[in-house]
Each structure stands twice: as C-alpha cells, then as structure tokens.
Amino acid sequence: MRKTYRMAWGGHRLELGRRTCIMGIVNVTPDSFSDGGRFLNHETAVAQGLRLVAEGADILDIGGESTRPFSDPVSIETELARVLPVIEALARQVSIPISIDTMKAAVAREAIAAGAAMVNDISALRHDPQMADTVAQAEVPLILMHMLGTPKTMQQAPRYDDLFGEIEAFLAEAMTRAGNAGVPADRLIIDPGLGFGKTVSHNLALIQGVQRFAALDAPVLIGHSRKAFIRRLLSGEPASPLSPDDPAVAHGTLAISTAAILAGAHLIRVHDVAPTRAAARITDALMERDSEVTSEKLHVS
C-alpha cells in the first residue's frame, strides 16, 4: 500500500499515492537515446507537450540536455535556447505543472521564470552547488535522482556492495542537503535512477523493491521508459538491444510501468502517456481493491 503525499505550491496541487501520477517526457535535444531530434524544433516540441497533456499527463518534464549513457554535457546557453521557448509556450496553454529537467541552477532559474514549476535534477544537487538555493528561493518541488558517476561514466561496469543501502544513503544525503538549503521535505521526490549506473539486474531489483525506500518518507518516481535494460531483455542479446522505436519496447515499458506501480511507485516518467494512463488506472484499481480487502480482514479480526 502506498502512502499518500500532498503537494501544494503556487497554483498547483498534486496528490501522490491516491492514484499514480504520470510524467510525460519532452526532450528538446538532438541526441537523446529515444527521441533525439524529433522535438528539437520548438513548435514540434510544444505540440508534443500538448498531446501528452491531452492524453492524461499530470506533469510535463522538459529537458534540453541528453543524459543518455556516454553523452557529453552542453553549455548553459545551448540548453536555455532549447527549453525556454518551449516552456514559455506551454506555460501559456496548460494548467499542469511543467518540470525542468536540468542539473544547472542557471537553467532552472530561467526556466522557472519562464513558467516551469518543478525541478528534476538527475545529479541530486551534486553538479551545481547553487541548485539547492535556487530551488529553495523559487519554492517549487525538487526531484532528486541517484546516479553512479556522471552520464559520461555511469555505465562503465557499475558495481554495488549493497544496492539498496547505498542508493538510500545517497538519496538521504541529498534530501539533507536540500533541507539545509531551505527546501521543505514535503516538496521532495526521490528517484532511484534506473539506467543511471545500473545493470539489468540492478534495475529489475530496484523495480521490485520500490517499497524499500519508504524509510525516506518521500514519493518515489520511476523513470524507465524505453531504456536499454528493457531493450536488452526483449532482444535476448545484451550486446544488441532493440531500437527504442521498436513496438515491442513500448510494450515492455508498459509492463515495467505496471510492475513499478504494483511495487509502490507514486510517479511514472514515460514517453507514451496514453497507454500508461490506461494501465495505471487498472493497476490503481487493483491496488485499491487489495487495500479494501486488507482493511476488511483487519476489521473482521
């Protein structure tokens, strides 16, 4: 059973846990592993954002820098040029929160001024020492993700002595840094970072063990959409994963979405919102039914 978390800030409200929250991905990049180049044109990116909202997204996550394995960073100026026109246009047309996916405080600051209402920092405040203060001053929610190393190095033979213990300690430290900067605990979301310094086995264990992060007392986001571990599992050949655009990959992503929800995830970050929303509604109903049955048994006993 998931704990329910309520976030209210600015003109936005999220209730996380009563039902699964869907975060729709809009990558304004030429080189993201899945949809790189498809939405680099600003008008196309805005149209994609509007489509995801119409399909039932609860949050839009806008990113201007690829974080695929072995990717190189881009400049602040390049990232801003990619995301700001998209955020400004979408903020005028949608009522749901827009998240800026960035590790740079300067990008977060400008994106929030343009209409973004959340920050998704995959470095968990490690990349830019000004990020925590920037988020605290803006009074917006913050997503903290675990990553082993950097996008350039994270998939070079990732190894853990204690997978859950090390990730929990990492996230707890990041939450403490955020709190020390003035970000309230009730505006933090945690992400174990599937694919960011993990093997296929690590990723599967993390999906099954979502509830093991309950001790951190924060909503859990799972970002798995079209990632290499799904493509490798489906191809059966670790060295030859399927293409992200293979229809089977969308089906595999949906299976992982359902498993993550059943395991206790509060938010699911995906490229394909409509099928995920449908699967989440059914899965949420099953979880609610399980909760009712459990309550009935407790009442009878």
**Catalytic positions, written as ranges:** 227, 269
Residues 6+ apart with CB under 8 A from 47: none
Q: Check if the beta carbon of residue 196 is closer than 8 Å to that of residue 223.
A: no
Do residues 90 and 43 touch, judged by C-beta distance below 8 A? no
Question: What is the C-alpha separation between 265 and 258, in angstroms, rounded?
Answer: 10
Strands 21-27 and 221-223: unpaired
How many helices (DSSP H) and strands (DSSP E) are in the chain? 9, 10
Among 259, 291, 286, 284, CA closest to 21: 284
The upper half-sphere exposure of residue 176, i.e. CA atoms within 13 Å in the direction of its Cβ, equals 6
Q: In whole angstroms, what is the distance from residue 251 CA to residue 70 CA?
A: 26
Look up residue 169 and give its two tokens.
């300690």
Query: Phi and psi at residue 253, in whole multiples of 5°?
Result: -60, -40
Residue 9 token pair: 């800030």
CA 208 distance to own-chain centroid: 17
- The SS3 assignment for 25 reads strand
How far apart (Å, rounded) are the C-alpha atoms in residues 250 and 31?
Answer: 19
